[in-house]
Chains A and B, each alone.
Chain A
Amino acid sequence: MNPLARKTAGLAASIGPGVTWITLFLFLPGLLMGVLAFMSNSPYGQPTLPFTTAAFSQVAGYSFLGWSPGNIEVIGRSLLQALYATFATIALAYPLAFLIARAPERRRAGLLMLVIIPSWTNQVVRAYAWMQILAPGTPLSHLAVTLGLLPQHMGLYPSSFAVSMGLIYNYLPYMVLPLYASVEKLDWRLVDAARDLYANGWRVFWHGVFPQTVPGLLAGIILVAIPSFGAYIVPKLLGGDRSVMLGNLIAQQFSSMPNWPFSAALTLVMLLFTFLGLILFRRMARRLNAGEANLL
């Protein structure tokens, strides 16, 4: 065998199965959705010819009833929920990452496990647990009513608050882990230098610590924001229908309505937002020269 042939054979044998598998069972289905999005909707919800962009004007809110902001609101709500989840997990993850990183070495692994184990229980179980805690009549709901945060007789579940809660709970570990990795590698000499310069604790953090944790932070943001934006189970179980997110709308238009072309068009919209977010982040990561977040 000549070297070139050998190299080709080796390449085919090694990356061949993986590339084939993912092309066949992920790329192709994705492309199919792309095609469906441009097809007409039959009265029964199945895609038919001719090709049209009707599904996309429906995404924009147009139907024979006129224009409605419904879909735009759903997309906006999903972005907002992703934003809440990201900020809340950042706020909670920093202290926790520091607690673990500053703990004696023999206790760190145990603490890490305390963060990881809850995320190993299935996400359905995790959302279910919150249904129980936030239902009407539970201590937390009572408290919220007494404090005047919640109207009389209502529960914290189902609501968009419950959705936020569920998302934060679900994705918190994904923020803690990369942040911890950054904090653990922190150069404390730089922190000390900052301490000499600034008296204020926050400024020490801002100038001495924060810049060093940016790679972990960026990785965490990607790991939290993307799945929160595309969440399905948490809003489905905790949301009720007033806090539908994009993932639910896609599933609903795919199943109970059904309107496959519309569902496929919404899918493309979700992918578009996801990839735009990723590209934005890659740019930011490059500019900050944050090697670790430079995923590709």
Chain B
Amino acid sequence: MKRTSLVIRISQSVAIATLAFLWLPLFVVVAFSFEPEAAAVHLTGFTFAWYERVWEQGGMLHALYLSVELGLGSAILGTVIGALLAVGLHRYRGRGFAVLALIVYLPIVMPDVIYGISQMVFFNYLHQLIGWPRAGLVTMGIAHVSFQIPYVALVVYARLVGLDRNLVHAAADLYASPWKSVYAFWLPVLKPALIAGFLLAFTLSLDDFVISFFTSGPGSVTLPIYIWGTIARHGVTPETNAIASLMIGAVLLVALGQTFIRARRNGHLLTDTA
């Protein structure tokens, strides 16, 4: 028994060190964003100067605005299409199911670089052919929706599988028009999954860099692309630290908010999204 507890103790230390490993880089970035010395290796003081510099440079706020616009727009479209797909997949499980499943899984397993480059090439040829679409928020939006659809579909599908089949059939018989059944039955039943799917889609959009990078145009510098630009041009700088810290701060705020809402609604904190 003593030996087991030693194993457990080692395992616990490794686990705690791993948690520290996950957070250390973020702490370093935030700490150095307040460091007055530009090329410092050790912390020597405290200043807000870099944040002021970032604020003065502008650009970042506009980038944030574009990110949110893209995130919201694509997530709405992605949620609607993804949810419909889930309903269809659940209802009409037939011989073609495997093919359909492939459509859901392909975007998830496709490496980002291939995803982005092939769409960029495709949009380019399409533009030459029919004069649409011009690279920018529209092409980024199309790309984002395409990777949001499967994730939303999976979330909604999971909810549908959990439903009683008889209930679903009864609902189908009960309402005369399909429209009525949509808002009287499907919307209320699927509401939690739709909200979770939407949030997931929004997060995916904000987190994506590679696909956005390849499908973006001159006027669509979203926040990740803006940050990338400053890193690619100037490497590690206090200003970049400040921008990155703001992004880390925003993520923390969203996470805390979400946890708080969930805690109030469920009475406990357990999360069900990936």
Contact = CB atoms under 8 A, between A and B. Distances in A.
Interface of A: 7, 10-11, 13-19, 21-23, 25-30, 32-33, 36, 92-96, 98-99, 105-106, 108-118, 120-126, 128-133, 135, 137-139, 169, 172-173, 177, 195, 199-202, 204-205, 226-227, 229-230, 232-233, 237, 247, 250-251, 254, 260, 263, 267, 270-271, 274-275, 278, 295-296
Interface string B98-111: 10111101110111
Contacts of B122: 25, 28-29, 32
Nearest to B154: A295
Contact of B209 (A17, A115, A123): A123
Interface stretch (B47-55, B83-91, B162-170, B188-196): B83-91
A108 B113 contact: no
A113 B251 contact: no
A195 B178 CA distance: 58
Given A95-B18, A121-B248, A122-B209, A36 B121 contact: yes
A99 B15 contact: yes
Given A29-B121, A99-B11, A133-B25, A121 B247 contact: yes
**List of 7 A-B pairs having minimum Cβ-Cβ separation, nearest first:** A230-B111, A14-B88, A109-B269, A18-B85, A129-B25, A15-B88, A29-B122
A195 B149 CA distance: 46
Nearest to B225: A124
B114 A118 contact: no
A106 B15 contact: no
Contact of B3 (A110, A130, A199): A199
Most buried by B among A18, A117, A295: A18
B205 to A, nearest CB: 11
Nearest to B98: A296
B130 interface: no
Contact of B81 (A18, A32, A95, A278): A18
Contact of B21 (A99, A169, A263): A169
A16 B80 CA distance: 12
A125 B18 contact: no
A99 B20 CA distance: 14
Interface of B: 3-4, 6-8, 11-12, 14-16, 18-19, 21-26, 28-29, 32, 41-42, 80-82, 84-85, 87-89, 91-92, 98, 100-103, 105-107, 109-115, 117-119, 121-122, 125, 142-143, 145-146, 149-150, 153, 178, 203, 206-207, 209-210, 223-224, 227-228, 231, 235-236, 240-241, 244, 247-248, 251-252, 254-255, 259, 268-271, 274
Of A15, A138, A251, chain B has the most CB atoms within 10 Å of the CB of A15
**Is chain A's binding surface mostly helix, strand, loop or mixed?**
helix
A247 B270 contact: no
B25 A237 contact: no
B22 A118 contact: yes
A118 to B, nearest CB: 5
Contacts of A14: 84-85, 87-88, 91-92
Nearest to A195: B4
B91 A10 contact: yes
Contacts of B145: 21, 25
B81 A21 contact: yes
A226 B11 contact: no
Nearest to A23: B103
A104 to B, nearest CB: 12
A21 B210 CA distance: 20
A129 B28 contact: yes
A132 B18 contact: no
Contacts of B19: 96, 111, 114-115
A49 B231 CA distance: 39
Contacts of B24: 133
A109 B101 CA distance: 31
Contacts of A95: 11-12, 14-15, 18
Contacts of B227: 122, 124-125, 128
B22 A33 contact: no
9 contacts: A25-B119, A25-B122, A36-B121, A118-B26, A121-B248, A129-B26, A129-B244, A247-B111, A295-B105
Contact of A237 (B82, B88, B105, B231): B231
